[in-house]
Amino acid sequence: MRATYHLKMVFTDVDYPNFIALFFQRTPSPDDNFDKIELLDDDKTDFSRIRCPHCKWQPKSFSRWMCASGGFPEFYFEACGTSWNTFETRGICPTCNHKWRYTSCLRCDKFSLHEDWYEIRDE
């Protein structure tokens, strides 16, 4: 089967606000065999216990992050471009299986350790 590629454009505002990265990414074919991460059901993900350590913003089930290459603080340059809710997989990209150590807040744009987003409550 012939491989197809698509152009990806990634905007970043971490270190360089006007930086745009263009790269080609292979489009998976139906014959590709991926070990998929099973997404958790919204019922199982308790978003009320997840909040930004800096500004206390709480993500919703429809909030999306992108597996994107970048510098500080993670310095990961083999990202796949997948868009998903990082808290449904505990920071693991469902396409390339990279475990993101840091998560940026969609409200205040600050990075925090992914595990620091989860509140611990006494029960």
pLDDT of residue 39: 47
Q: Is residue 120 part of a domain?
A: yes
Nearest to 59 by CA among 117, 122, 120, 121: 117
Kindly state the helix (H) or strand (E) to which residue 52 belongs, with its residue range: none
In which band, very low, low, confident or very high, does the pLDDT at 122 lie, cut at 50, 70 and 90?
low
Tokens 């709480």 locate to 58
What are 3-54's pLDDT values in tens digits? 555 555 554 444 545 554 455 555 555 555 555 545 444 456 788 899 999 9
Domain with 117 in it:
31-123
Distance in angstroms (rounded) separating the CA atoms of residues 114 and 98? 13
- pLDDT tens, 83-120? 999 999 999 999 999 999 999 999 999 999 999 999 88
Residue holding tokens 């152009």? 7
- Within a domain: 20: no
The answer to whether residue 107 is domain-embedded is: yes
* Residue 19 resides in a domain: no
Which pLDDT value is given to residue 76? 86
- Rounded to a whole number of angstroms, the CA Rg of the chain reads 16
The number of domains in the chain is: 1
* Higher-scoring residue by pLDDT: 26, 75: 75
Residue from 114, 111, 106, 17 nearest 62 by CA: 106
For the entire predicted model, the pTM comes to 0.62
